[in-house]
Amino acid sequence: MGGAKVGVWCAHGEGQALFPDPAVEKRVLDSGLAPIRYVDTSGSATERYPFNPNGSPHGIAALCSANGRHLAMMPHPERCFLAWQLPHSPPEVGLDPYGAGPWLRLFQNAREWAEANPRPADA
C-alpha cells in the first residue's frame, strides 16, 4: 500500500502522537516507524485540520514496532474495508461499490506478513 492516498474514518476526540523527548521523535521518523500519515489534498503530510483531525505532529496517524509485528493507529480502517463503507471514493478510482475497499489490503498484508514471519518461540 506504499504511497497510497486513501480516505479513512476517524472517530477520536482525543489522542495524538506526542513526543516529549525529541530524540524519540527523531528515531521514529528516521527509522520509518510512522508508516501511515494524515495528508492534505496535495498528498503532503500535514498537521492541519480537517486533514489531520488531532494535530498529530508530522501527520502521524500510526506507529509500528521496529520488527513490524505491532501497528497502532488512530484512524479506523476496520470501518471501511468494503467499498460502500468509504467516506468518499472518486469515480475515477473505479471501485466496485459492492466489492472490497482499498483498506482490506492492510488486513491482508498483515495476515500474509504474520504467516511469513512466525513468532519466535522465545518471544
Asked whether residue 13 is domain-assigned, the answer is no
The answer on pLDDT for 4 being more than 90 is: no
Nearest residue to 34 via CA among 15, 54, 56, 61: 61
Q: Which three cell numbers stand for residue 61?
A: 496517524
- 3-state SS, the chain, equals CCCCCCCCECCCCCCCCCCCCHHHHHHHHHCCCCCCECECCCCCECCCCCCCCCCCHHHECEEECCCCCCEEECCEHHHCCEHHHCCCCCHHHCCCCCCECCCHHHHHHHHHHHHHCCCCCCC
Asked whether residue 50 is domain-assigned, the answer is yes
Range of the domain at 81: 22-116
Asked whether residue 55 is domain-assigned, the answer is yes
Question: What is the residue whose three cell numbers read 491482508?
Answer: 108
- Contact between 33 and 66 (Cβ < 8 Å): yes
Q: Which of 26-40, 52-66, 108-122 has the lowest mean pLDDT?
A: 108-122
Asked whether residue 93 is domain-assigned, the answer is yes
Asked whether residue 15 is domain-assigned, the answer is no
Asked whether residue 69 is domain-assigned, the answer is yes
Domain count, the chain: 1
Model pLDDT for residues 55-108, shown as the tens digit of each residue: 999 999 999 999 988 999 999 999 999 999 998 887 888 899 899 999 999 999
Spatial distance between the Cα atoms of 67 and 65, rounded to a whole number of angstroms: 5
pTM score, whole prediction: 0.86
